[in-house]
Amino acid sequence: MSFREQRVYLASRSPRRRELLKQIGVAFDVLLLREDPARGEDIDERVMEGESPQDYVTRIAKAKAELGWVRVLQRRLRPNPVLGADTSVIIDGEVLGKPEGRQDAERMLAKLSGRSHQVLSAVALCYRELVELRLSSTTVEFRALTEQEIRRYVATGEPLDKAGAYAIQGRGGAFVRSISGSYSGVMGLPLFEMVELMQHFGFEVL
């Protein structure tokens, strides 16, 4: 499979994912999906009963890519592949997505304090009937955080739209004692797996 235009649609609002695509020279157009519960979400991102964290993140990434392709057809856009991604923080078997507010963010950070957790980041590429997936797993260890540090960090607003309530590329990076795996995966888009996926589709990357 080969694409002359060498462009993808990014089915995500995340500025971090845009930055990472630009970093390695991937041409893309943003394809927005609804994420406002008041207007009706395009994808239900709640964890299903009995669903493993791995199954959850791959399901959401695949759903974003597939729904993005449906939107390409509906809007009669140029038929380029759609990239979907999902990132979640996992600790004690609990999937920590984006916090629901400041109290929830403080709860998440207190749970991560002084411990190791896992960050799962899935990427999916959809073109016509073909959908391919890749999954990245990274272990992150936090230093112990004081209640005051947690409150000050949450007050900056940075954690409120981040999985696990922290941004490793922002102020939250000061909490990270060590990382084993993909830094870009913790940011929200594992570049190694994404490039592998795009090359599988015939893209010339790098």
Whole-number pLDDT of residue 43: 82
Joined tokens for residue 7: 């462009």
Radius of gyration of the chain (CA): 17
- Main-chain dihedrals φ then ψ at residue 87, nearest 5 degrees: -130, 135
pTM: 0.90
Residue by residue, DSSP assigns 52-96 as -HHHHHHHHHHHHHHHHHHHHHHTT-----EEEEEEEEEETTEEE
Q: Could you give the dihedral angle defined by the CA atoms of residues 52, 53, 57 and 60, in that order, rounded to the nearest 10 degrees?
A: 50
CA distance 153 to 170: 11
Please list the rounded mean pLDDT of every run of 10 residues in the chain (206 residues): 76 93 93 61 82 95 96 94 96 92 97 98 95 97 98 96 94 97 96 93 83
Burial of 121 (0-12, 13-18, 19+ CB in 10 A): buried
CA distance 83 to 123: 7
Catalytic member of 36, 42, 55, 86: 86
Whole-number pLDDT of residue 41: 57
Whole-number pLDDT of residue 34: 64
Single-letter residue type at 158: E
Whole-number pLDDT of residue 4: 61
**Residue 76 in contact with residue 121, Cβ under 8 Å?**
no
CA distance 39 to 31: 17
Single-letter residue type at 146: T
Q: Is 86 a catalytic residue?
A: yes
